[in-house]
Chains A and B, each alone.
Chain A
């Protein structure tokens, strides 16, 4: 009974947060406005609210909130998976260089194509994937991929792409391009439109669903390669799938949102404190927590001041004290 309640809370939580977030913002909306517009768009009631309400709810707030939820979920789930795969609780979703690669791709697109969002997505996504492929090739050795080699591959590739980003910043036009690059690197959901969600949601959903599907096998990978194989796991295949799915999820998230740190590291830990380390439960819970957390933080990012606060700043600024509080309360149990 307790279990059923907890599970429903993890499912309902993000949905409630998403719904309530529709009310948050400059333009005031009543419950009847929101329900009416949603009902109208789904297609079973007549429109009674103003066109502005439709615009604010359907075209501005809802896409951004949904995007926030998927991005937060993707980062958290891939972070949790990588922590299990690399047997290291300090690992986050960017460990194999996907964020650094995407940062470089986006910066390059900003310089080459003057801020056209389609190119930014495309470049960020492709270079994010490319970075992981490079890390994998560096880590690949004698028909296997030892964890330490993969981590080193990721560190090397991240370093290369970070320097390349610095190089691009150095040569970028300081009035037009440089601010765009810097702002992109700090992360934001401000540009979200339905069309963006549809495109980026494809890799993110494949990644999330894939990781949920192999979540129990992640437990076994965290026993180490030798034991996992002796238990009957095709480690080469499962490791490859885990890296593929986590990379699709992260690259999909980063390409639309920019670099949002902290979610992929800390949300899985909050999940560990709440439900333990069994990935069978932890992965879905991380999805729920990550989605809820990013929507909440984004609400602050878009309403706290007159202009937008970059999301990447707030995720760590708000998350860190909360994490300290949890650490102190649970006295570090769960590690």
Chain B
């Protein structure tokens, strides 16, 4: 059985339809990318997967359970979320931010216990940020903040990680080191990753690293194609979705064969 099963999902804000009749199956241990133009409904679909927004029609099942019937606490034990933009309000210490990932495991009137602290520190070690533990997280760079949010998600000890354009604000190096962290995680922990992205090459990047990867192309309120990166991210599909001309390149370098898609010009 699929870990996440979406059947005929439809969502609208009042009369405005955001997406309709979306069906997906996401399996354990894969990286599933949602790819599509701005405003195609990726973020809305993600919020429906997280139970923050409710579908207008259809169902989303997490491990066989309908998301609609689950409490926030139950969902947060299955799915962790890394937002697109995180608005920092107070200069909490890095460790205190990561500890927030433990809230789904603590009672309404309690505070995190020693073992929660250990789990949080373990998560910080995993993303290589343990040295920043006592620093105010408002002083971190965009890339470091994103890693802290990954650690917070890991502290939730979920089997699914959902990310909304996680590298949108990162520079070249931080983007790569973020992707490397994700790859290492998937290989070591068998976690399932769902990410909305504007970079088709992320999907190729995961495939180049031999991780089971699928892409769903969203456009015009629905999913137009889904499957392996090679099948979905073609010059034809790019042209029909974005009105651009592009080319998929294969090349060799020290670490083996790689594939990337290069945008050439608008049509």
Residues of A within 8 A of B (CB): 84, 87-89, 213-217, 219-220, 222-224, 226-227, 229-235, 237-238, 276-278, 280, 334-335
Contact = CB atoms under 8 A, between A and B. Distances in A.
Contacts of B101: 231
Nearest to B104: A232
Contacts of B76: 230-232
A112 to B, nearest CB: 41
B91 A213 contact: no
Interface in B46-90: 47, 50-52, 71-73, 75-77, 79-81, 83, 86-87, 89-90
A334 B93 CA distance: 11
B86 A227 contact: yes
B109 A232 contact: no
A228 to B, nearest CB: 8
- The list of the 3 closest CB pairs from A to B, nearest first, reads A232-B76, A232-B104, A230-B81
B132 interface: no
Nearest to B149: A227
A278 B96 CA distance: 7
Contacts of A213: 108-109
B154 to A, nearest CB: 13
Interface of B: 47, 50-52, 71-73, 75-77, 79-81, 83, 86-87, 89-93, 96, 100-101, 103-104, 106, 108-112, 152, 156
Contacts of B79: 230
Given A230-B76, A231-B103, A231-B104, A224 B87 contact: yes
A229 B89 contact: no
B103 A276 contact: no
Which of B50, B81, B108, B112 has the most chain A CB within a 10 Å cutoff?
B108
Which of A84, A219, A237, A238 has the most chain B CB within a 10 Å cutoff?
A219
Contacts of A334: 91
Contacts of B112: 216
A296 to B, nearest CB: 27
B109 A278 contact: no
B108 A231 contact: no
B109 A222 contact: no
A237 B72 CA distance: 11
Nearest to A213: B109
Contact of B90 (A84, A237, A280): A84
B91 A335 contact: yes
A277 B94 CA distance: 12
A277 B103 contact: no
B66 to A, nearest CB: 17
19 contacts: A87-B90, A214-B109, A222-B90, A223-B86, A223-B89, A224-B87, A226-B83, A227-B83, A229-B51, A230-B75, A230-B80, A231-B76, A231-B100, A231-B152, A234-B72, A235-B72, A277-B91, A278-B92, A280-B111
B77 A87 contact: no
Contacts of B89: 87-88, 222-224
A283 to B, nearest CB: 11
A311 B218 CA distance: 63
Contacts of B86: 223, 227
